[in-house]
Amino acid sequence: MKVATGLGQDSHRFESAPSGKPLKIGGVLFEGAPALEGNSDADVLMHALVNAISGVHGVVVLGPVTDALCQAGVTDSAEYVKEALKHLAPARLSHVSCSLECSRPKVGPQIEAMRRNLAALLGLAERHVAVTAHSGEGLSAYGRGEGILATVIATAEIP
Ligand SMILES: [Zn+2]
């Protein structure tokens, strides 16, 4: 058995003019928080996860495929992750490690909800989905509250 890893990143800035769209991170709604700019639901963690899965199989999904889905009315980023997973066989995801950099909203209280949600989406046990968050001491645009950066490493086993 071989092991492959994929690295994925994505970032979105907060909307300058509120559109009324909710903020979703890792499929979890953050009530009352400002939304992120983007043509889809702008779920930055899901998008980084799509890129991490692409990092395993080499097929770029975020952009070429997801833009077409978005234009067809599919704005739920969980659907983009499912699209990325279609190219994974015969490899199988075994673990994902996610990191968020932002100073707002406070994501700490929702980390377990994000893990549960992503584990269900990926068909993994919760112990194989890790989510951490930090503010980077305000050194970056994310730490200054201008947007959110997500980084994901996906590990897959190849029989
Ligand atoms: Zn994105």
Compute the Cα dihedral for 40, 107, 110, 155 and give only its sign. Answer: positive
CA of 157 to the centre of ligand 1 (A): 26
pLDDT tens digit sequence for 58-109: 999 999 999 999 999 999 999 999 999 999 999 999 999 999 999 999 999 9
- 158 SS3 class: strand
Task: Tally DSSP H helices, then E strands, for the chain.
Answer: 4, 6
Domains of the chain by range and CATH? 2-158 (3.30.1330.50)
pLDDT of residue 12: 98
Confidence at residue 98, expressed as pLDDT on a 0 to 100 scale: 98
Distance 1 CA to ligand 1 centre (A): 32
**pTM listed for this prediction:** 0.97
- Cα-to-centroid distance, 14 and ligand 1 (Å): 12
Q: Say how many Å lie between the CA of residue 94 and the centre of ligand 1.
A: 23
Average pLDDT, the chain: 97
Angle at 105 between CA 101 and CA 111, to 5 degrees: 70
User: What distance in angstroms lies between residue 29's CA and the mean position of ligand 1's atoms?
Assistant: 16
- C-alpha of residue 63 to centroid of ligand 1, in Å: 9
The single-letter code of the amino acid at 32 is G
Q: Looking at residue 110, what is its pLDDT? A: 98
Q: What is the pLDDT of residues 5-53, one digit of tens each?
A: 999 999 999 999 988 899 999 999 999 999 999 999 999 999 999 999 9
Q: How far is the CA of 45 from the centre of ligand 1 (A)?
A: 8
